[in-house]
Amino acid sequence: MKQTPVKEITVEHKPAQSKLDTLNVSKWPTWQKEVSTFPWSFPEQEIAYILEGECVVTTCCGTTVTFGKGDLVTFPAGVKITWEVKQALHKHYQLDGNIVTQTFKRIKAALKL
* pTM (predicted TM-score): 0.81
> Could you count the other beta carbons within 10 Å of the beta carbon of residue 107?
11
pLDDT of residue 1: 38
Q: 10-111: which CATH topology? A: Jelly Rolls (2.60.120)
Q: How do the domains of the chain map onto residue ranges?
A: 10-111
Taking the C-alpha atoms of residue 40 and residue 99, their distance in angstroms, rounded to an integer, is: 19
List C-alpha distances in Å: 74 to 9, 26, 54, 111, 112: 6, 16, 15, 25, 23
**pLDDT-derived band at 110, boundaries 50, 70, 90:** low
pLDDT of residue 107: 60
Angle among Cα 36, 46, 2 to the nearest 5 degrees reads 95
Query: What pLDDT digit, counting tens, does each position of 81-100 carry?
Result: 999 999 999 999 999 865 55
pLDDT of residue 106: 58
